[in-house]
Amino acid sequence: MPLAKKPVNGMKDILPEEMAIRDYVMNVIKETYRSFGFTPIETPCMENIGNLSNKQGGENEKLIFKVMKRGEKLDLETAQSEADVVDFGMRYDLTVPLARFYSNNANNLPSPFKALQMGNVWRADRPQRGRYRQFMQCDIDILGEPGNLAEIELILATTTTLAKLGFRGYEIRINERRILKAMAAYSGFEESAWDEVFIILDKMDKIGLTGVATELSQAGFEDTSIEKYLALFTGVQQAEDGVAYLADTLGEFLEDEVRRNLMEIMDSVNATKNDSFELVFDPTLVRGMSYYTGTIFEIAMPEFGGSCGGGGRYDKMVGNFTGKDVPACGFSIGFERIILLLLENGFTIPGQAEKKAYLIEKNYPADKLAAVIAKAQQERAEGKQILIARMNKNKKFQKEQLAKEGYEEICEFFNK
């Protein structure tokens, strides 16, 4: 039986044209984030299974690629549960590994610590447009900053990066987990049911207010609570200032500090942002991760029709490793979806070096070949990109392929 040529479902081979764009985008991201003071780090692709399945990752914990024990540690004959055969898992995001990294290395890191991570993560998800089982994530996080300067810097760094890549007309949607909880409490939902309510609310952009009302009713919630809850969203839509409306309506259910904090973030970003995006308060924004404790945000791009990144504050996660909470906030760009949009829009890398190809006849003598290589080395030193290759039998097809790869000039060397 022949070996499989195609990659595993949900994973993909990356051809040279896309790889060039990926490299360019990664360099733009790194360069921009460094200008905001973020420091690159790297964490392993695998984590202890207990770290990944500690009920903080929401639905992603159901998508973990688990790694079996090996050698003497693996005893299938006596295994009674999954814990007897599994010890590691492939990371499903970069946030949990970062919290472990910080817990392990805090004494050697500045405070606050501004981390930049870029790396692959794995989820046993259903593949679809812009969604893979192996994909690159690009995260920036600030640990040790309790104030909203962290949120402001994260939003500005992310949107500055997207502007450099040519994106315009998108939204940064922002909300607060404490507002979500206050709205649920005000409406009369039991605290034990809040997560279920939020899961249904998270479908608002797909099923609308009516759909949310129907699903809440089908879940067994009282009509009075549902009506009171949905009236809040209608009120925000009609209000000139949605945050102020909710603060006034929710009263004692929402601490005044929450309103003040969110308004400071929005006012500061709006006063200093570029014109490529709008910052929009959205009380329906939930974010699936249960580790979020405060501000949450998301990138909504009309070209994609969904989220192209997001993040928020997770002040309790480090404490799960150390017993002492550390304020933390992060923002992740949806790298694969950004690349997808660039490819679909025919993106070309600006300011590329001049590309020339040297095609050498098959039996070209060694002494002449050395002279050609020396010439190529000189042009490379001048900043040009020079490819040296032997001529194929089908030279016409070879030259067509080189032209597709952007080689503007093709020089042929024959033994004459």
DSSP per-residue codes, 239-287: -SSHHHHHHHHHGGGS-HHHHHHHHHHHHHHHHH--TTEEEEE-TT---
pLDDT score recorded for residue 76: 64
pLDDT score recorded for residue 193: 92
Q: Is 63 exposed, middle or buried (0-12, 13-18, 19+ CB in 10 A)?
A: middle
Contact 330, 308 (CB under 8 A): no
Side chain identity at residue 133, one-letter code = R
pLDDT score recorded for residue 80: 65
Within 10 angstroms of residue 312's Cβ, the number of other Cβ atoms is 27
pLDDT score recorded for residue 67: 87
**pLDDT (tens digit, 9 = 90+) per residue, 3-60?**
999 998 899 999 988 999 999 999 999 999 999 999 999 999 999 999 998 877 777 8
**pLDDT (tens digit, 9 = 90+) per residue, 312-333?**
999 999 999 999 999 999 999 9
pLDDT score recorded for residue 235: 93
Give 10-residue mean pLDDT values along the chain (416 residues): 89 92 96 96 94 80 85 65 78 94 96 96 86 93 95 96 94 95 95 91 88 92 93 92 94 93 95 93 85 93 84 94 95 93 90 87 87 90 90 90 87 84
pLDDT score recorded for residue 60: 80
pLDDT score recorded for residue 150: 96
pLDDT score recorded for residue 294: 94
1-146+315-352: CATH number: 3.30.930.10
- Rounded to a whole number, what is the distance in angstroms from the first to the last CA of the chain? 49
Q: Give the CA distances from residue 249 to residues 84, 182, 254, 339, in Å, rounded to whole numbers and listed in that order.
A: 52, 10, 9, 42
pLDDT score recorded for residue 84: 66
pLDDT score recorded for residue 307: 85
Sheet harboring 385-390: ordered strands across?
A: 385-390, 355-360, 409-413
Q: Please, where in the chain does CATH 3.30.930.10 lie?
A: 1-146+315-352
Contact 118, 138 (CB under 8 A): yes
